[in-house]
Amino acid sequence: MIRSVALTFLTCLFSTTYAQQAGTLVAENHPPLTWQKCTACGSCQNVAGSITLDADWRWLHSTSSASGCWGASGWIDPPCGPPNVCAQSCALEGADYAGTFGIATSSNTASLRYITQGPDGPNIGSRVFLMASNTQYQTFKLKNREFRFDVDVSNVGCGVKSSLYFVGMDADGGIQKYPGNKAGAKYGTGYCDAKCPRNLRFINGEANTLNWEQTGPRWGGHFGSCCMEIDLWEGNSISTAFTHHPCQVPDQYRCQDAECDEVCDKDGCDFNSYRNGATTFYGPGRTVNTNNKITVVTQFYTADGTDVGTLSEIRRLYIQNGQVIQNSQLNIPGIPSYNSMTEDYCYAQKTAFSDPNTFAWNGGFQADSALDRGMVLAMSISDNCYTNMLWLDGQWPMGSTGPGTVRGTCPPSLDYEETRAQQAPNTVKFSNIKFGPIGSTC
């Protein structure tokens, strides 16, 4: 049985021998998802992959019964208690992907529904990871490579965000580092990103119960989970952005309290065409027409043209109706007209928008150890109870008027309850994933 009310809360955004356990009440069957590995244009081979649901969306219950460890008010004690006791006493279960979470795959397509009416109530949003095997995440080394996918956001509107992105998670979900972890990648454990989220129920195989706050912007526990993040796609039918978030730490790192605001670049260096002054480039009926499926190609160039060189540029292309569409040009008075992401672009944009240069402070393109090690692919659909995604598709901060504050045409008056009422059944579809050397995925 899934505790869906807990899942609704999850979407509002000490090393020990203990760790989260794997349950036995619901079988875990990963939905298959085919993608392609390419060596040259027209030379791509199918890879039989699959997806798994993030651990934070799963039913968490006592190892000795079906009694929940988590509910609408947060942690339930007993069976949960101190971090090591809770980890030893609670188990993650398999998922009903379609019935509870609105997740479906067909050949090379993954569909994620915004709100699904499950057997125990509504589930809001989801996050899945691409698998290489039943127990390992698929990892991608991005330097000197390109990543291509199709996305359909035609019915994903204001206040809802679809995402396809890479994070520096451990490929096994943390099992090797924390041997007591009986769940691992199979059950979607080990998540981290550059926002160092504290609202994760388990971090480093231990329950995040210390100083847990169930409401407010501070929502979460004492610890957060940090790692480098590269957002290839955050978007809906109104606006989209791709963003690079460097970190000072080389791999997944558990931060504590205030430290969680200092380890990574939470804002990142972003390229949002509307925010950058190209207000007619992306949207319904525009140059990149969100009424139709979009092919997105992201290329990662290194300074010396090798697979081990330092990242120097991220380029973006769109394809619709067989036509290649170059990325929009930066159109902000007083700074050069970039259409790709370089460190010079990032620094110039930060200056023009009067944003602190946290990108440089956290290492910029030089902080690339996760790129060398290989990053895990995540796909999600979500909303946000506090910002209503205005940082993506509206005016943010609200009431501000300076350069870079308007990111799209969504109204500031729309709140998340209206968003949920209006867009409940809406779905994003990611498909036709291809990966290989630059120029090979055509």
Catalytic residues: 229, 234
Q: Which secondary structure element, helix H or strand E, spans residue 20, and what is its range?
A: none
Give the residue from 289, 365, 304, 391 showing the smallest Cα distance to 13: 391
Count of C-beta atoms within a 10 Å radius of residue 17 = 12
CA nearest 256: which of 375, 73, 83? Answer: 83
CA 287 from centre of chain: 26
Q: Are 442 and 41 in contact (CB under 8 A)?
A: yes
Residue 130: phi, psi to the nearest 5? Answer: -80, 135
Q: Which helix (H) or strand (E) holds 428?
A: strand 427-437
Residue 323, both tokens = 């036509």
Beta bridge partners of 61: 68, 91
Which residue's entry shows tokens 């790709």? 340
* 36 strand-pairing partners: 46, 434
Dmax (CA) for the chain in angstroms is: 65
The bridge status of strand 311-320 relative to strand 323-326 is antiparallel
Give the pairing type, strands 288-289 and 282-283.
parallel
Instruction: Name residue, tokens 């526990």.
Output: 221
Answer for the pair 45, 37: CB distance below 8 angstroms, yes or no: yes
Q: What's the token pair of residue 410?
A: 């969504």
